[in-house]
Amino acid sequence: MRVILKFDSISTKDSCQRSCRIFAGRTSGCLRRLAIESGGANLWAERWAAGLREWWGWGGESMRLSFHGAASGVTGSCYLLEVEGYRILVDCGMFQGKDELFSSNLKPFSFDPASISAVLLTHAHLDHCGRLPFLVRQGFRGPIYATAPTRYLTEIVLWDAAHLQEEHFQGSQRHTKESGRSGGRTARIKHASPFYSLADVMDTMTLFSRPPDENIPVGLFPGIDVTFYPAGHILGSASIQIVVSGRNRKTRILFSGDLGPSRPALLNPPSPPEDSDYVVMETTYGDRLHRSLADSKDELLDVLEETHRRGGQVLVPTFALERTQDLLFFFREWKTQGQLPGHQPFFLDSPMAINVTHIYEKFPDLLNERLLGQFKVGQDPFVFPDLKFVRTASESRDIQRSKSRAVILAGSGMISGGRILYHLAREIDNPRSSLVFVGYQAEGTLGRTLLDGRQHVTILGSEKDVRLGIHSINGFSAHADQGDLLRWCSSMKTPDRVFLVHGEQRSMNAFRAKLATSGWKDVHIPVLHETLEIPEKKAITNKNKGEVLAP
């Protein structure tokens, strides 16, 4: 029996053909996953998957790339690539910052989570992975691909985020009840419930697939391969290249993720692929250069020595991921070289930072040669005799009662919560002590208020005079600056088009001008939820060997 379909219009015919190809793509994806999950035993499934794609004429149409986060802004990274029935999401980050920006986390996704075929995760910072549990709660059930360290770190970060959401929700509920009993005005609750729970985090972690190795292509779907390249930002961070092949076509799209400096303190430098057709590139610091790491270390060492001479304590609001490990390494180095006063206690008062440090210890092969060499001779570059890890609240209270000339690292990094508040409440009016900022302080946080020079602040419900010394040392960034970003670009061939993301407008504009002088002239700055057609590239065929080469 032969079936003939007739169409009243070209548009109806095209729509039907596209629907058939999407059906074939999704069916072949299911067959492909069946083959993968059975360890390759279902060879027929793999062949049927490839056959369906070929039968429906895969290849030759434009792909679609849409920007659902970190577009004309810095946080909430989320990019959707649609190609022949597959919908591939790169990152699914949380929006952070002012209330109106944070409230974006509560809005429904601008795409159907259940329709997403797979998620590729560049790294474990909250603004790149923080909405994954919400995606799962809304129906996503596909695989999540990330490097092994990113998988471990993501679990720590998401557990902490879910726990804080539940704590804040319970606190707001108590405040509302108390206001009602006292006849006061009911406090406005930002959201009726946490937008995901610890149970959602557990469900999310079950979706992580076997972690890919760096620089080795992984077959994602028929005709679609992905490769993770070192990004040098934090442990496990990666730039991800997606290669779409078929019918003498080969298109390469590179997502930079967050890039580290050219000479990271702990990691190996970023190492992108040589050639890509399209590049989605971060520009966090595209308009400026960082202070040198050497100068920043010298200033920090001076603060430690001077505060110790005065008899005060050094408080460092620290970020659990990467910045803490940088500081521990520097402290150990100075202790070993005899540059710090003897018998000066150091406390890492952050369970999350302690857990992250242990993940770093688990992957010494991903650290730079200097740190790897220490591990090989049985030395831990993050531990030294005067350092104590503080996990429990009672141990933290013991530090607060101590009169020692201690150095205390505690979260949160912007003093928006965490144990640093209790240490600061005790020392803020002590002119002998010092508060050292080693990271960015967002507007609206207590850290930013202190950095701006406020002389009176409220901490834990009490008015306090600010008398301790305040220092901001900004050369410890895990982000590439303008020079590092340009060096990353210069290591690759010029792409057909570049999309600048993950930056404020002035940063992206400044970096676009710099790229133009380097020959990267087709540069686009997308806006939030913008969708663009990405033409596929024709490949060059090696007629002697029958190979399909890159354009």
Give tens-digit pLDDT for 245-280: 987 889 999 999 999 999 999 999 999 999 999 999
Average pLDDT in the chain: 85
Q: What does the pLDDT read at residue 30?
A: 52
Three-state DSSP string of 131-161:
CHHHHHHCCCCCCEECCHHHHHHHHHHHHHH
Task: Tell me if 492 sits within 8 A of 456, measured CB to CB.
Answer: no
As a whole number, mean pLDDT of residues 321-325 equals: 95
Per residue in 435-492, pLDDT (tens digit) is 999 988 877 789 989 999 999 999 999 999 999 999 999 889 999 999 999 999 999 9
pLDDT band at 501 (very low <50, low <70, confident <90, very high): very high
Q: What does the pLDDT read at residue 523?
A: 97
pLDDT band at 76 (very low <50, low <70, confident <90, very high): very high
What's the angle, vertex CA 511, arms to CA 510 and CA 513, rounded to 5? 70
As a whole number, mean pLDDT of residues 160-189 equals: 60
pLDDT band at 495 (very low <50, low <70, confident <90, very high): very high
Instruction: Please name the residue ranges forming H helices in 377-441.
Output: 393-401, 420-427
Q: What does the pLDDT read at residue 22?
A: 45
The gap from C-alpha 7 to its chain's centroid, in whole angstroms, comes to 48
Of 168-182, 289-303, 323-337, 497-511, the one with minimum mean pLDDT is 168-182
Per residue in 198-241, pLDDT (tens digit) is 999 999 999 999 999 999 999 999 999 999 999 999 999 999 99
Q: What does the pLDDT read at residue 513?
A: 96
The residue type found at 91 is: D
Residue 251 DSSP label? E
Bridge partner list, 500: 281
SS3 276: coil
Number of Cβ within a 10 Å radius of residue 548:
16
Q: Which residues contact 283 (CB under 8 A, 6 or more apart)?
A: 485, 500, 501, 502, 503, 507, 508, 511
- pLDDT above 90 covers what percent of the chain? 69
Integer Cα distance of 84 and 221 in angstroms: 11
Q: What does the pLDDT read at residue 539?
A: 65
The gap from C-alpha 290 to its chain's centroid, in whole angstroms, comes to 20
Is the model more confident about 44 or about 534? 534
> Of how many residues is the chain composed?
551
SS3 362: helix
SS3 409: strand
456, with CB counted inside 10 A (0-12, 13-18, 19+), is exposed
Q: What is the CA radius of gyration of the chain?
A: 26
The residue type found at 36 is: I
As a whole number, mean pLDDT of residues 160-175 equals: 73
Q: What does the pLDDT read at residue 126?
A: 93
> Quick check: 16 pLDDT over 80?
no
Integer Cα distance of 277 and 537 in angstroms: 8
> Quick check: 58 pLDDT over 50?
no
Residue 509's H or E segment, with its range, is helix 505-517
Q: What does the pLDDT read at residue 442?
A: 75
Give, in order, the Cα–Cα distances in Å from 517 to each of 417, 489, 521.
44, 12, 8
> Quick one: which of 517, 210, 266 has its CA closest to 381?
266
pTM assigned to the model: 0.85
The residue type found at 344 is: Q
Q: Which residues contact 274 (CB under 8 A, 6 or more apart)?
A: 491, 492, 493
